Amino acid sequence: MEITHVYSISLGCPKNRVDTERMLSCFGPGLTPCETPEEAEVVLINTCGFIGPAVEESVQAVLDAAQAIEGLEPRPVLAVTGCLVSRYQEDLAKELPEVDVWLTTREVESWPARVSEALGRPVHNPAPGERVLSTGPSYAYLKVAEGCDHACAFCTIPSIRGPLSSRPMDQVVDEAQRMLNTGVSELVLVAQDLTAYGRDLGEKDALPRLLERLSTLEGLKWLRPMYLYPAGLTPALLDFIKDMGRPLLPYFDVPLQHTHQDILSAMGRPFARDPRIVIDRIRDRFPEAILRTSLIVGYPGETDEHFTALKDFVRQARFTHLGVFGYCDEEGTESFKLPGKVEQQVINERREELMRIQSIISEEMLMEFEGSTQEVLVDAPHEEWPGLHVGRCWFQAPEADGVTYISGPGVEPGAMVNALIDEAKTYDLVALT
């Protein structure tokens, strides 16, 4: 068995993390993770290139790694992949000749051959769905599709990742069981638009059929769908989810991006009508539903009146979880050409104001759980406090929402325990077994 020392960084979204885990599997059981680039034979950096700040972070990560291994003999293989490469490969190759392997998002399947060539020795050829989990013993992401067919004016994803490409259902289910066999209890379904799954394959009701098959898998306790586009949350799909019940969680991650029809139309969103329609649709069927959304402030043409309407909507809708992002002007997008650009200071102020409103809502909603007993899935020990662990209740998605700090008998990574919610903070909970 060939031992390979690998240092890896995965930047950006969970979909990127899945790609990283797949690429790491090519080293087979001989994979030995390293803490620093200097210790490694292979340095793998999976980048994000969605918006300007992500591009800067990714470029800096590559520069730091290149500097760390400069002059080493033997020198580690430096491989860079991900959305940054897909977006700027020609420019990057000129500016960073020290990178040995460039890999776009559409070339991930060729990774074993490319790294084998760079290393000068064969590597493991992983089976479909084979991955090296990096999320710990409690949960795993399951990517069901790549790319996107929507044409949102602010988004670079279709140009980077291509059109919608759904994975074959049997392959997704086999990978899910493989992940569950490692002992994880939760699967988090991710795609650019989960509700579009199977549409490119001409399959009718593909998402309900996938959910149904996944729900029967041995070892699965929580099935969490993420990235549910509002246009795809039809009454029929919601009725199916209601009838299905656990392990499918009544957790709805619905990226609205804005709530005023003027701005939604300018964004080219696939659901530009009143977003209250989809929110009411969900809550009519799921009074206990947890709703999360993401919003963009400072989009070109957003006036004070538009922003006031957005604030009013947030106060009325009362999302449990909310992410607010300032608009980034990205060259190559349709929104880049739009007039009425909002000053950066105004964008920052609007984001802070919306988050202040949400912080009050979040704390009020979490306080309703005080004194109740909830299942908590334990993710990891707390990095600073011995005996304290970080976990999540069913209404807290990993790496997106707040957490539950938990201690007591039976609390260990990967365990699902019943715990008393002792205290609510602004975004987090404290629990005791």
pLDDT digits (tens, 9 = 90+) for 71-94: 899 999 999 999 999 888 878 888
Q: In sequence order, which residues have a C-beta less than 8 Å from that of residue 249 and are 6 or more positions away?
A: 222, 223, 224, 225, 290, 394, 395
Tokens standing for residue 302: 């957003």
Question: How far is Cα 344 from Cα 10, in angstroms, rounded to an integer?
Answer: 29
Q: CA 330 from chain center: how many Å?
A: 21
So what's the architecture of 139-367 in CATH?
A: Alpha-Beta Horseshoe (3.80)
Question: How far is Cα 218 from Cα 375, in angstroms, rounded to an integer?
Answer: 19
Q: In sequence order, which residues have a C-beta less than 8 Å from that of residue 299 and are 6 or more positions away?
A: 154, 258, 263, 266, 267, 327, 335, 342
Q: Is 103 helix (H, G, I), strand (E, B) or coil?
A: strand
Start-to-end Cα distance in the chain: 43
Model confidence over 190-244: pLDDT tens digits?
999 999 999 999 888 999 999 999 999 999 999 999 999 998 999 999 999 999 9
Confidence bin at 271 (pLDDT 50/70/90): low
Residue 1 has pLDDT above 70, yes or no: no
pLDDT score, position 52: 85
Annotated binding site: 13, 48, 83, 148, 152, 155
pLDDT score, position 266: 93
Residue ranges per structural domain of the chain:
4-119, 139-367, 373-432
**Start-end of H helices in 286-375:** 304-317, 344-367
Question: How far is Cα 392 from Cα 395, in angstroms, rounded to an integer?
Answer: 8
Residue 259 has pLDDT above 90, yes or no: yes
Residue % of the chain over a pLDDT of 90: 81
In this structure, the strands spanning 222-225 and 145-146 are unpaired
Q: Which CATH number fits domain 373-432: 3.40.50.300, 3.40.50.1000, 2.60.40.420, 2.40.50.140?
A: 2.40.50.140
- Environment class of residue 195 by beta-carbon count within 10 Å: exposed (0-12), middle (13-18) or buried (19+)? buried
Residue 263 has pLDDT above 90, yes or no: yes
Question: How far is Cα 200 from Cα 407, in angstroms, rounded to an integer?
Answer: 46
Annotated binding site for [4Fe-4S] cluster: 13, 48, 83, 148, 152, 155
Model confidence over 376-388: pLDDT tens digits?
999 999 988 888 9
Residue % of the chain over a pLDDT of 70: 99
pLDDT score, position 129: 87
Model confidence over 159-200: pLDDT tens digits?
888 899 999 999 999 999 999 999 999 999 999 999 999 999
| Average pLDDT value for the chain | 93
Model confidence over 409-425: pLDDT tens digits?
999 999 999 999 999 99
Confidence bin at 253 (pLDDT 50/70/90): very high
Q: Which CATH number fits domain 4-119: 3.40.50.12160, 3.10.450.50, 2.60.40.10, 1.10.540.10?
A: 3.40.50.12160
pLDDT score, position 422: 96
pLDDT score, position 2: 79
Residue 3 has pLDDT above 80, yes or no: no
pLDDT score, position 272: 57
Q: Identity (one letter) of the amino acid at 95?
A: E
Residue 132 has pLDDT above 90, yes or no: yes
Question: How far is Cα 224 from Cα 214, in angstroms, rounded to an integer?
Answer: 11
Q: CA 140 from chain center: how many Å?
A: 11
Question: How far is Cα 208 from Cα 243, in angstroms, rounded to an integer?
Answer: 11
Q: Identity (one letter) of the amino acid at 339?
A: P
pLDDT score, position 282: 96
Q: Which of 22-36, 100-114, 264-278, 280-294 is predicted with the least confidence, judged by mean pLDDT?
A: 264-278
Residue 293 has pLDDT above 80, yes or no: yes
Q: How many residues does the chain have?
A: 433
Q: In sequence order, which residues have a C-beta less than 8 Å from that of residue 241 and are 6 or more positions away?
A: 211, 248, 250, 285
